[in-house]
Structure 1
């Protein structure tokens, strides 16, 4: 779909006090290095090939544009410039991850905060590569909001469920924490694999104070933080439009508060939001929830 059709919504006026997100988004080609605003960029990862390889239900390839629609009419955060890198040119998993990683690297080098819009959760490996290319010596802490560990073997190729095992196998300067973990969504082999890699597994039912304490200690031990959301971490009632809906999943407000507490550490360099599947959404609930989390992320980071 043409970006002009997507970035088009409710119009109150063109006065600064009335502006909505769709009215200010710029193509990355219009990047201004002299811009002193807080800068963010949307990067579409419009492929679900990794989901299909992982035997999940397809449809997340349509997620990025629906997320854009889910936030287009939200009010503009002050002193902010928003760019759009648009969607992918290549959609096979490995090629898509490489293309996406270059966009993340380009954003970081321009002092733009990258916000990934997925697409399959194999976006993780793309974001990770972009961060590692930019910060070759930094200790990266990846915090994943997900019901699933996504640490399956990758010997037959990458899928939406293999990123974390490949990262931890090949990069000893990475730590991994999962928030919203569901024991019912992971086999013993997956849990044992995570344990062997020293993964911090924070179950969905753990209270916010203890969750915050665990994450605070985790963040202290790394140089930079990357946050990734698989939207199936949330309860299926509020996030039905995902590849693998989760009964008894994370509450939306609790998830938002945990997200903001991580951002307040001032170590976060990138974030992405994956597995939004519009084919199974109801009244755009999942896309709107995702858009709201992105909005909260931007507003927190510009304070």
Structure 2
């Protein structure tokens, strides 16, 4: 990872440091490490995207997000780790490997941040949370243009995670922020309604979305937030598997995320579908990195 974790050098005094200068390999973890602890876990596969007939390339997203993070200023009172990337790439095996990395992070009292990769990362993150919190009521908040609740009879894809989770775990609630009616068939919407999904379209004003989510969060024990970066307008985030015209504004998305984090119930966060092959000037990767940076700066408080 040294070829990625390097960047602009202003000096080695504390006030000059950038993320690439302070991040640690997970093998360097110590219980005596100071401050709030966060880990980047790469989900560097897009097999699920290919199965879902999407445009491939998101497998490269994990490292591209790291590049977006590396020269951002170091965040005080935190220790950052890199869990590196996956060894398994087929969807089911990748999800299982990823879930154990998430559980290991919990065991070490580290907050996991996923870097994807296909949005099938969701099932991996959920599985890791469930391994560590078998009896907690989980609220999953998905920033996404698409419901991702397709049938999984023929195997998992980037669009099946939520249906499989909701079908098999009655102690989970699901909310989607940035929903686009034009991106979802009637069957997908009917399936969501049958599972009592809280659907919050992109057009709803920010304050109302926050109000709905506050009520949603009250009814759960812990919260997991996931971003499919195609939730954002295609002009802002062109480097995704399925770009969205008239998508969510980035500042609105950031503000909603920070409001959710203010609940003090969020235990995991991930970002998916960053596809460098279609990005322009690394806009999508840089936006993802900025959201991660602001999330860490908020959570460490």
Does residue 76 (structure 1) correspond to residue 69 (structure 2)? The answer is no
Partner secondary structure for residue 5 of structure 1:
coil
Indicate the residue corresponding to 1:131 in structure 2: 129
Aligned length: 301
Q: Which moved more, 1:156-165 or 1:26-35?
A: 26-35
Q: Which structure 1 segments of 5+ residues have no match?
A: none
Deviations 1:87-123 (A, max 9, x none): 0000000000000000000001111000000000000
Aligned to 2:107: 109
Q: Which residue of 2 aligns with 1:189?
A: 187
Deviation per residue, 1:200-248 (Å, 9 max, x gap) = 0000000011101100000000000000000000000010000000000
Q: Tell me the secondary structure at the aligned position of residue 129 of structure 1.
A: helix
SS of 1:4's partner is coil
Matches within 5 A, 1:254-293: 254-293=252-291
Larger CA deviation: 35-44 vs 144-153: 35-44
Distance in 2 (alpha carbons) for counterparts of 1:79 and 1:208: 30
| Residue in 1 that maps onto 2:154 | 156
Looking at structure 2, the residues matched to 197 and 46 of structure 1 have their Cα atoms a distance apart, in angstroms, of 30
Q: TM-score, normalised by structure 2?
A: 1.00
2:207 aligns with 209
Aligned to 2:222: 224
* Corresponding residue of 1:122: 120
Matched, 1:32 2:30: yes
2:13 match: 15
Structure 1 residue 36: deviation in Å? 3.2
Return the alpha-carbon distance in structure 1 between the equivalents of residues 127 and 300 of structure 2: 25
In the alignment, does 2:206 pair up with 1:198? Answer: no
Look up the SS of the partner of 2:125 in the other structure. Answer: helix
Which 4+ runs in 1 deviate beyond 3 A? Answer: none
* CA distance in 2 between partners of 1:149 and 1:55 (Å): 16
- Partner residue, 1:300: 298
- How much does 1:71 deviate? 1.1
Query: d(CA) in 1 for partners of 2:273 and 2:40?
Result: 16
> What CA distance in whole angstroms lies between the structure 1 residues aligned with 2:46 and 2:34?
36
- For 1:65 and 1:212, the matched residues in 2 are separated by 32
Question: What are the Cα deviations for residues 127-170 of structure 1, in whole angstroms up to 9, with x where unaligned?
Answer: 00000000000000000000000000000000000000000000
Matched residues in 2 for 1:127 and 1:297: separation? Answer: 17
* RMSD over aligned Cα atoms: 0.4
Offset at residue 35 of structure 1 (A):
1.9
Distance 1:254 1:72 in 2: 25
Q: Distance in 1 between matches of 2:5 and 2:84?
A: 11
